[in-house]
Amino acid sequence: MQALSSSFFLQMAVILTACRLVGWLGKKLGQPQVVGEMVAGVILGPSLLGGIFPEASAKLFTPETRGVLYVGAQLGVGLYMFLVGMEFRTDLFRSRVRSAASVSIAGMVVPFVLAGLLTPWLFKIPELFMPKTQLYQAGLFLGAAIAITAFPMLARIIHERGLAGTSLGTLALAAGAIDDAAAWCVLALVLASSGGASNMAVLAIAGGGIYTVLMLTIGKRALAGLGRVAARDGAVSPLLMAFVLVLFCISAWFTDSIGIHSVFGGFILGISMPRGILNEELTKKLEPFTVIFLLPMFFTYSGLDTRLAVMLDPTILLVTVVILLASVLGKGAACWAAARLHGEDSRTALAIGALMNSRGMMELIIINIGLQKGIIGPKLFAILALMAIVTTLMATPLFQWVYGRHSGKIAQPIPDGLDA
C-alpha cells in the first residue's frame, strides 16, 4: 500500500509539471491551457514518453496506480461537467432560439450526414469499431464526435472578449449550447442501446430519460431550496457543500449504474442547480482543485490510451485525414456557411465557424466513454484524439485572426478555468 501512495505522489508531480510546462509553451503561441494539457497527456502516453523511455514509463505508470488514475480522472470529469452544468444558461435557448436555429441545425445535421456517409467505409476497416458495435451505433457515435463543440471554452472566449451581447456572441453561445446538448443526447442513446441485453437498453433509455425529466422539474425545485439556504446564510456551509457532493456522487453513481456514464449525472445535477450564491460559492470551492489537480489525471489517462503510432499504417493515416476533413467541413465550414446564409458578415461567420469547430476536452470525454464502453477501438480512439487536438489548436489563431483584427483588440491568451 505504501508504495502505492509514493508512486501516486511522484506520478502527480510529473503529470502536473508536464501539463503546466506544455500549457505554458502553448500559451506563448496563444493557445489556451486546455490545448497544452491535451498535448501533455499524449506526450506522457505511449506515443512519446512510453515509446522513447518504455522502462521509465512503466515505472511511473504502474498497473497498480492505473486504477487510482482512472478514478481520479472520472471524478475530475464528473465534477467538471457538474461545474459546466452550473454555468450552462438555459435562457440562451429561449431568447435566441430562432436566430441561432440555422447555425445550430447546420452544425448538427451536416456532421451526422457526413458520419452517415463515412461509416459504411470505416466499418469495414478492422479495429476501428469494436465487433459488437452495430452500424447505426457507429454512425451515431461518429456523428456525435464530429458535432460536439468545446462549449465551455467557447463560452469562456466570448465572455473574455466581452462579446456576450453581440450578434456573434449570442449566436455562437446559443448554437453551441443546442448542438452540444443534442450531441450528448445522441451519445446517451448510443450508450443506452449498446448495453448488450435489450432490457439494459430499456433501463438506460427509460432510466436516463426519467431521471433527466425528474431532475429538471422536481429536482430543480427541491434544489432551489438549497439555494435559498445559501442566500439566507450569505455563504455555503461545509454541511451544505457536503450535501451537494453527496448528491453529485449519487447522481454520478446512478447514471453509471444504468449504463450511461457518470459525466451525465454530474452535468444533469449541474444544470438543475439554482443560480446565485450557492452556484458561485461551489464553483469557487470546487473549480481550482478540479481543474488544476484532477483534470490533468484525465488528460493523462486519456493520453495513456492514445497510440499515435497507429497512424503509420497508410489506411489509418487516410482515415485520419478523411475524418479530420469531415470534422472541419462538417462543423466549422457548415456553421460558417449557415451564418453567411443567415446574413452575417464574412468575419463573424468565420469566427463562428472557428469557435464551433473547436472540440477541446468535450471530444476527449466522448471518445474515452466510447473506448470504455466498447464502442470504438484503440485506433479510432487515437484518430479522434488527434482530431480533437488539431481542431482545438485551430480555433484560437483562426478566431484571433478574423475577429481579433475586426474588433481591433490585441490577441490575448485565454485564462484557464472552465475553458476546456
Residue type, 215: M
Pick the binder of its own copies from 47, 74, 279, 327 (CB under 8 A).
Answer: 74
Q: Are 155 and 225 in contact (CB under 8 A)?
A: no
Using CA atoms, how far apart are residues 145 and 291, in angstroms rounded to an integer? 23
Pick the binder of its own copies from 113, 201, 209, 256 (CB under 8 A).
Answer: 256
- Residue closer to its own copies by CB (options 19, 311) is 19
Pick the binder of its own copies from 131, 225, 234, 238 (CB under 8 A).
Answer: 238
| Min CB(347)–its own copies separation in Å | 31
From the list 18, 28, 35, 17, the residue with the least C-alpha distance to 363 is 35
| Min CB(253)–its own copies separation in Å | 4
318 belongs to the binding site for its own copies (CB under 8 A) = no
- Residue closer to its own copies by CB (options 54, 415) is 415
- Residue closer to its own copies by CB (options 105, 245) is 245
On the CB side of 186, how many CA atoms lie within 13 Å of its CA?
Answer: 24
10 belongs to the binding site for its own copies (CB under 8 A) = yes
246 belongs to the binding site for its own copies (CB under 8 A) = yes
Burial of residue 121 (CB within 10 Å: 0-12, 13-18, 19+) is exposed
Q: Are 311 and 317 in contact (CB under 8 A)?
A: yes
The cell 478566431 sits on which residue?
399
Within 91-166, where are the H helices?
A: 91-96, 101-124, 135-147, 151-160
From the list 73, 420, 130, the residue with the least C-alpha distance to 263 is 73
- Residue closer to its own copies by CB (options 13, 58) is 13
286 belongs to the binding site for its own copies (CB under 8 A) = yes
Residues 12-71 that bind its own copies (CB under 8 A): 12-13, 16-17, 19-20, 23-24, 33, 64, 67-68, 70-71
What are the cell numbers at 393?
A: 489548436
Element (H, E) at 24: helix 2-28
| Min CB(107)–its own copies separation in Å | 30
Residues 6 or more apart in contact with residue 242 via CB below 8 angstroms = none
Which residues are near its own copies by CB under 8 A? 1-2, 4-6, 8-10, 12-13, 16-17, 19-20, 23-24, 33, 64, 67-68, 70-71, 74-75, 78, 238-239, 241-243, 245-246, 249-250, 252-253, 256-257, 262, 265, 284-286, 288-289, 291-293, 372-373, 415-417
